[in-house]
Structure 1
C-alpha cells in the first residue's frame, strides 16, 4: 500500500506558498494604493490653474504624441501680506524625441516689457505686479516661445523637498562660506537647510547672480535625480507632503502621468545655460540689458529644441 504522506506534504507546501503569495500581492496592492492616494492628495493641493491665453501655440499641446513642451519655474520668497518677487526664474524645454532638456536661467534684473502692465522693468517684477499669469506672459514675450506650464516653488520651503529626497549631492565649482556654512570646492552633499543657503549666495560670488543661478540649477537637477531614484520609494510620503506644501502648478494629475510615461527619457540629458548681458543704471535703478543679438540666439536655441 502506497503512503500518501509525500502527497500531503506537497499539498501543505502548496498551501503555504499560495498564502505567502497572497499576502505579498495584498501588501503590494496596499503599497500601490497608499502611494497613489498620497500622490493624488499632493497633486490636488499643488494644482492651481492659471487663466491666460497664448498666441504662441495655436494648436493644443498633445502629450500623448510626445510633443515638446516648456515649463516656467518660479522660485518665490513669499512673505505675509506681500506676494513677493520671483527671484528665481528658470525655463525648461523638454523634447522626448531628442531625449533632452534645456534649462535656461533668466537673471531677475533683466530689463524687458512687463506684458499686461504697460511698463518696462526688471523681469522678476512681473510676478509682483500680476502673479503667475503675468510672469508667464512676460517670459513668453521675452523668449518668443510658448510657455505651456508653470511651477511655483516656495523657496523657504524648498529645503523640505531636499530633505524629503534624502539630501542632494552637487559638484561645487567655488569655495565659499555663507551664513556660517563652509562650502568647499568639489563634490558636496547637502541637507535642505544647507542647500537653501548654497543656492542663495550671490554677493561673495565674482559672477554675481549668474553664479547663484548656476547653483540653483545644480540643486534642482540633483532633486530631480534623487526624486527619480529607487531610494525615494521608501519615503514617498515625505516627498509628496513637501511637494504639496511648497509647489503650485497648472499641470494636472493626468498630464503628470502622461509626462512620466512619454517623457522620462528626456531627463537623461539636461543642458544648463543662462542669458548674457551688460549692467546699466537707468533712473538710478540697475538693470541687466540683453542685446538683440543675444536674445535672438537664445530664442532660436529654444525654438529649435521645441521643434518650432
Structure 2
C-alpha cells in the first residue's frame, strides 16, 4: 500500500474510532440524563481480580447468566451549597447484550430501605452517607441483584448537556406550576416551575422543570412517568443524524459533569447495540409499592415480593422457592422494623 494511501486509511480509522467513542459516551449520557433530576476510566482488564471478573462471579453465584445482563445504576444528584447532596432519582438500567433489550427500573425517591450501617431511611440518603458505592450496595440489597456500574449527574450537569444537544421536544400533558422556596438560589427561576400544556421544544432549564415537577395528585409517581416519557423522547432524538455535529460539545460538557466507574471499553461494547434497543423500544418500569406515612413522614413502602418478581423477569431468573424465600425474609425484616412505628396509608 502506498504511503499516502496508508495515511488516508489510518486517518479514516482514527476518525471512525473517535466517533464510535463519542457516540458511546453520548448514548450512556442520554440514558443517564433522565436520572439526573431531582470520563473517569477504570481498567478493562479481565483478570481474576478485575472489577468485571468479580461482578461475573457474583452473578454466577446467585444464578444470573454470565455477561448477558449488565446493570447500571443511574443517580440524579440534588447537590446543595456545602452539601454533598442526595440522589433524587434512582434508576437501574439493565442491558441484555444477547437480545439487545434495555429496561429501566425506577425506584421512587421516597422508598424506605435498609442502608448498610445507617439503619432505615429514604433511598436517596444512601448517597449522602456514602456516595455512589453505598447507593449501589443499598439498591443491590433491595433488588437482589448485583450492580455493575454507576453513572451520576447533578442538576446543573443535566441542563448543560440538554443545551449542548440543542434541546428536546416534549408534549406537556397539563399545566405545571409550583414555587419551592427551598430551591431559591439553587436552580434557575429561583425554584419556580411554570409550564403550559402542549408540544414544546425544551432547553436545559425548561427540561429540568419538566422532569422535576411532582406537586400534583400523583406526586413522585407522576414525576417518574414524566421522566420515562422524557427518556424515550431523548433517545429518539439522539439516534438521528442531526445530532452528530453536536457530539463534540456534548462530550465536552459530559466530561465535566458526569461521574462513572464504567470503562470506556464497556461503553463501546454497549453502544453497538443501541440502534437495536431503539427499534425494540425502551422498556420503562417502576418498583411496585404504596405511599404511606410513617410517624407522620411520607415514604414509599416497597412491595418486596412483587419487586423481586419484577426484577427476576427483567434479569431472566427463575422464580423458584429459594428466590421467593429470600424475598419473604426481606419482607419480614421490613415488618419488624415498623413494629414500633405508626404507619398510615397515604390518600
> TM-score per shorter chain, which class?
0.7 to 0.9
| Contact 1:48–1:249, Cα closer than 8 Å, also in 2 | no
| Contact 2:312–2:318, Cα closer than 8 Å, also in 1 | no
| Contact 1:56–1:145, Cα closer than 8 Å, also in 2 | no
Partners of 1:41 and 1:111 in 2: CA distance: 33
| Contact 2:214–2:223, Cα closer than 8 Å, also in 1 | yes
What residue is the counterpart of 1:12 in the other structure? Answer: none
Higher relative contact order (CA 8 A, sep 6+): 1
Q: Equivalent residue of 2:83, what SS? A: coil
| Structure 1, 238-247 or 285-294: larger mean CA deviation | 285-294
What residue is the counterpart of 2:168 in the other structure? Answer: 168
Partners of 1:26 and 1:215 in 2: CA distance: 45
Of 203, 211, 216, 2:222 maps to: 211
Question: Unaligned 5+ residue runs, structure 2?
Answer: 29-38, 44-50, 179-191, 324-347
Aligned residues: 281
What residue is the counterpart of 2:236 in the other structure? Answer: 225
CA RMSD of aligned residues (A): 3.7
What residue is the counterpart of 1:276 in the other structure? Answer: 288
Deviations 1:4-27 (A, max 9, x none): xxxxxxxxxxxxxxx9x9999898
Aligned pair 1:192/2:204, yes or no? yes
| Contact 1:160–1:242, Cα closer than 8 Å, also in 2 | yes
The CA deviation at 1:30 is 8.0
What residue is the counterpart of 2:98 in the other structure? Answer: 97
Normalised by the size of structure 1, how large is the TM-score? 0.77
Partners of 2:317 and 2:165 in 1: CA distance: 30
- Please identify the structure whose Cα radius of gyration is greater: 1
Partners of 1:25 and 1:223 in 2: CA distance: 34
The verdict on how the C-alpha distance between 1:267 and 1:88 changes in structure 2, with shifts beyond 3 A counting, is same
Deviations 1:117-164 (A, max 9, x none): 241111111111111011011101101112111110112220111111
What residue is the counterpart of 2:138 in the other structure? Answer: 138
The verdict on how the C-alpha distance between 1:244 and 1:22 changes in structure 2, with shifts beyond 3 A counting, is same
Aligned pair 1:77/2:59, yes or no? no
| Contact 2:144–2:308, Cα closer than 8 Å, also in 1 | no
Partners of 1:272 and 1:304 in 2: CA distance: 16
Aligned pair 1:302/2:314, yes or no? yes
Partners of 2:170 and 2:318 in 1: CA distance: 28
Partners of 1:191 and 1:74 in 2: CA distance: 21
Normalised by the size of structure 2, how large is the TM-score? 0.69
